[in-house]
Structure 1
Amino acid sequence: MIRKRLALLFTLHISHFTLSLVAASASKPNIVLIMSDDMGWSDIQPYGGEIETPALQNLADNGLRFTQFYNSARCSPTRAALLTGLYQHQAGMGILAEDPGVAAPADADSGYKRYLNKSCVTIAEALKPAGYHTYMAGKWHLGYHGQEKWPRQRGFDRFYGIVSGASSFHAPRHPRGLTLDNDHLPEPTGEYYTTDAFTDYALEFIDTTPEGEPFFLYLSYTAPHWPLHARDEDIAKFTGRYRSGWDVLRASRWQRQIAAGLVDPSWGLSQRDDGARAWTELTEQQVSELDYRMAVYAAMVHRMDHNIGRVVKHLKDSDQLDNTLLIFLNDNGACAEPYTDLGGGLFSAVNQPRAGGAGGPKNLKGGSSYGTGWANASNVPFRRYKAKLYEGGIATPLIVHWPAGLTTAPGTLTHEKGYLTDMMPTFLEVAGASYPSEYEGNKIKPLYSSSLIPIFKGDSRDTHDWMFWEHYIDRAARKGDWKILGRIGDENWELYNLATDRTESIDLADQHPELVTEMAAAWQEWAESHDVLPNYHGTKDPKH
């Protein structure tokens, strides 16, 4: 039943690329897709945050915000689903991508390749036949060993950024260093900061586009992923601001969300995570160090927003902003690694250019993070954080700005549900492009999501009555407003009514056993038809 329903939801697959429009024209919108890394749902001002993010606020005030948009809980799986329009397992990314120290095994099962497989196409590959120039700047994290897995070989005309995952912001170096197109670059000298440099190259790429021809830009920032690295002038704006602690911060953000209509006050505010102490239990030294960690984190978000503002200004100054579909979202909820309320790494490593990023991410080798308490606050009002399938792990801000295409009133909030896989059909529709059933001799898996364009016009759509997740043994499904969560190998499920309890505070599984049985069976059917099962190998989250 579920398999047939999903297959029928999207039918734009054909045997070869054919264009809905014969030639690219000036009427085709530019597409700019911007993603942050490990940022919480409530960090930015348009979603209740106190961190000054005027560029994003301006985009929200003149655009459309989603309150129920979802990601895949972790960086690589999210990137795979976002760029291919498929569930991450179908694209070969059921677990984290290979990194410098983790090469993909040659005999890996199809859903767990650790790099994008050949059964999918990226948005860049799909848009190029429609006349789009395709650019990427930032974090790839979808395959490392072998250039055939890199951005240039997956449809992007130009690339500047980091092929692997986490890296130093001030001094990225091999094997987690910078790459331009297909060439590794030496460690940068002088004053350098990745967020600024990614934007520099993104704007340079845009300027190479022939006049009147459309482009697709994927700007994938690493901010505010650990290690905690920011510019000194930005840190100074926030130091001392967080001495009142995460309990106060959580309450103030929640009140702003209620006032903005982002959340229903009847849901309540989720309990402080059990991995974080009450702020009053901390010593003065711990308070000072945690204030600084959060200040650096806020500075990273603030600097990212500054650079998003640069992109917007550049488009406006070149008379391209009105005809540019610009979307901002995040890859997962805020990061609590390594699950201590005091944060990860030595305090002395915070904002040290060569601390963190050279080795692997395991145990934050030399890196620094802000900890469980702040991550919990970043995800207000939701429960949990990155890598978990509670709302705090999978809910993302989504801001859409498109003066020539949005017909909703400026500043509109939509409560329509959406998922990463909606991006591919949305971009295909606005570009007049088609989705292939074959590409470069490989059979391509069909899409099942649908375009967000009806929502951009203020209408509703029927897509996503069912939604499914799996991440390192954790599993979840949503049917309408009902959501179940559990673990593979465990017969017990939790059940929540998100319409009345999106903070997932009241488990209703015992009251609705028949619904749990129905939803569990649907998850099983999805998992068996989307490369999760039967080849699932029982890998637990390496961060736990």
Structure 2
Amino acid sequence: MKNLISGSVLALGIALSVCGCKQKENRSGEGETATPDKPNIILIMSDDMGYSDIGTYGGEVNTPNLDLLAENGLRFTQFYNTARCCPTRASLMTGLYPHQTGIGHMTNPPKSDQHDMGLPAYRGFLNKNNITLAELLKQAGYKTYMAGKWHLGMEKEDQWPLQRGFDRFYGILPGAANYFEPRAPRGITADNEQVEITDKNYYITDAFTDHALQFIDESREGDESSPFFLYLAYTAPHWPLQAPKEDIDKYRDRYGAGWKAVREERFERMKEMGIISEGDMLSEQDSPEWESLSDEKRAEMTLRRAIYSAQIDRMDQNIGRLVDHLRNSGLLENTLLVFLNDNGACAEGGMLGGGKAENLETTTGYFLSYGQAWANASNTPFRKYKHWLHEGGIATPLIVHWPAHTGKEERGKIIREYGFLPDIMATFAEVSGAAYPRNYKNHDIPPMEGKSLVPLIEGNPGQVHQQPIFWEHEGNKAVRLGDYKLVMEWKGKDKNHWELYNLAEDRSEEHDISEEEPGRVNEMAAMWTKWAEEKQVEPWDRILDIMNRKK
């Protein structure tokens, strides 16, 4: 672990102590006070970050607050998202597969029905045939708050957070915004009102945290015994590449050796940490040689990566503010805090990034990205990126921190059992005592697709998923059962091939064993086909045809 822990964060680590479930230490020195049976729940999500970007997963970015949460909590090495921003949010919020929620592909952008295909699984907004985490936890007595990126529908007000169970909301409704000057139609919404930002020192990551802290304080007003649920969905480090100068300055000289050097350094650290095993391979480099670029282009790419890292650094600083606030309020011990990311690193913008270089380090610009070459480093040691269903597209860091239920002997433990987004709903339902309904507001609700992670959190090892779990996005397909993963990259109609990997031996998916085990391929492919029929997944060429007709 990198020795990057600040004084305040180190103090937090020293202060952490095991709580029985009913009692906690009163840090004012005035003895013991009772805690509520139900924990507060905080769900933090980063956006477009690579698997190995944060320090506790092998990265060189300064993330002491996340690192310490992992040291005093649990790290999952095989947790999965859906490979894209809004399908992940749909699955996370409902405990279902995204196709069941109407977001089988994407959410409609502002002032457009571009992703509404008129098909049940492809409407471009969160349908009503589900119950959100906020709606479920509200029924269990929780106060519910959200700060950050919604991205589950915005054209009609009944699609907004307050209409889907949240008591308060501050953030953006679409998928991205300018960090310094968010403006309509990608501007800030507070509760159900559009807000104009005039503060010259505004930075969206800071603002999300400011309002999250305000919501926590509001939750203590009146009935302090009521637990709260906070969903804090940062946009960092999603494009546009924008960060405060003081944070960029930390990384200006860090990336001059290029992406290959970063990948190799991370790979060795990940093995030392136990995030990957000694037998795992570093996937083939998916980028040009650094030395092949001109001096000017290398300087530009160094800056693009520095800004990206600064965005993560700033997010970590804000997570530190949040944890300090919980500690100072006496809330940390019985707060279940979960951190994860929405998809793999983003290769959008081409090999060397998108957007004009002259817009870097300004408040101008919307699409500014760092490109595939750096995304390949962010996803060390895996293949592929956001959009795809190989490990680089769907593997996410997952940190779980809950001092009241994690004994000293469990802290810092690495969990190697695999899980996926719907498990969050099942976990929160169990810890809150919420009863998941069959019908909600006159709509039939499908059963939860996930399994509770509580046994793993409480130190009881064992495979959570005995049944297969599935993915589909833009024609890319995957199914995992036990150690085996069947995956297909969409390459056009009738050009596709199922690949089979034993992830226990080949986590980086370097050795396709489909020809060696055709029986297993056929069996798992049949499972995927049955699942796709049940969830109303459409052939991707059909969706493409509809999209082309809508243009």
What TM-score results when the alignment is normalised by the length of structure 1? 0.90
How far 1:537 moved relative to its partner? 3.3
How far 1:492 moved relative to its partner? 2.3
Corresponding residue number in structure 2 for 1:454:
455
How far 1:236 moved relative to its partner? 0.5
Q: Residues 61-100 of structure 1: matches in 2 within 5 Å? A: 61-100=71-110
How far 1:215 moved relative to its partner? 0.2
Contact 1:472–1:541 (Cα < 8 Å) also in 2: no
Corresponding residue number in structure 1 for 2:322:
311
Local SS of the residue matching 2:231? strand
Structure 1 distance, partners of 2:276, 2:346, is 22
Deviations 1:18-59 (A, max 9, x none): xxxxxxx82210000000000000000010001000000010
Corresponding residue number in structure 2 for 1:16:
none
Structure 2 distance, partners of 1:47, 1:331, is 16
Structure 2 distance, partners of 1:59, 1:74, is 26
Of 99, 103, 109, 2:113 maps to 103
Query: Cα gap change, 1:470/1:464 in structure 2, threshold over 3 Å: closer, same or farther?
Result: farther
Amino acid in structure 1 at the alignment position of 2:294: T
Amino acid in structure 2 at the alignment position of 1:223: A
Corresponding residue number in structure 2 for 1:164:
174
Local SS of the residue matching 1:137? strand
Structure 2 distance, partners of 1:266, 1:214, is 44
Q: Residues 114-513 of structure 1: matches in 2 within 5 Å? A: 114-210=124-220, 211-273=224-286, 276-340=287-351, 342-356=352-366, 367-407=367-407, 409-459=410-460, 460-463=462-465, 465-487=467-489, 489-490=493-494, 492-513=497-518
Structure 2 distance, partners of 1:174, 1:540, is 31
Query: Could you say what the CA RMSD is over the residues aligned between the two structures, in angstroms?
Result: 1.7
Structure 2 distance, partners of 1:50, 1:241, is 9
Local SS of the residue matching 2:428? helix
Amino acid in structure 2 at the alignment position of 1:328: F
Amino acid in structure 1 at the alignment position of 2:276: V
Corresponding residue number in structure 2 for 1:11:
none
Local SS of the residue matching 1:518? helix
Deviations 1:98-130 (A, max 9, x none): 111422677721111111101111000001011
How far 1:350 moved relative to its partner? 1.7
Structure 2 distance, partners of 1:107, 1:286, is 41
Structure 1 distance, partners of 2:40, 2:417, is 24
Contact 2:65–2:319 (Cα < 8 Å) also in 1: yes
Corresponding residue number in structure 1 for 2:20:
none
Corresponding residue number in structure 2 for 1:363:
none
Amino acid in structure 1 at the alignment position of 2:302: D
Q: Does 1:56 align with 2:66?
A: yes
Amino acid in structure 1 at the alignment position of 2:440: Y
**Total equivalences in the alignment:** 505
Contact 1:97–1:142 (Cα < 8 Å) also in 2: yes
Query: Cα gap change, 1:534/1:379 in structure 2, threshold over 3 Å: closer, same or farther?
Result: closer
Query: Cα gap change, 1:541/1:185 in structure 2, threshold over 3 Å: closer, same or farther?
Result: farther
Local SS of the residue matching 1:307? helix
How far 1:193 moved relative to its partner? 0.3
Structure 1 distance, partners of 2:37, 2:370, is 45
Contact 1:455–1:461 (Cα < 8 Å) also in 2: no
Local SS of the residue matching 2:403? coil
Corresponding residue number in structure 2 for 1:21:
none
**Percent same amino acid at aligned positions?**
51
Contact 2:49–2:237 (Cα < 8 Å) also in 1: yes
Q: Does 1:539 align with 2:544?
A: yes
Structure 2 distance, partners of 1:373, 1:39, is 14
Query: Cα gap change, 1:456/1:235 in structure 2, threshold over 3 Å: closer, same or farther?
Result: same
Local SS of the residue matching 1:90? helix
What TM-score results when the alignment is normalised by the length of structure 2? 0.89
Query: Cα gap change, 1:463/1:206 in structure 2, threshold over 3 Å: closer, same or farther?
Result: same
Local SS of the residue matching 2:543? coil
Local SS of the residue matching 1:476? strand
How far 1:189 moved relative to its partner? 2.6
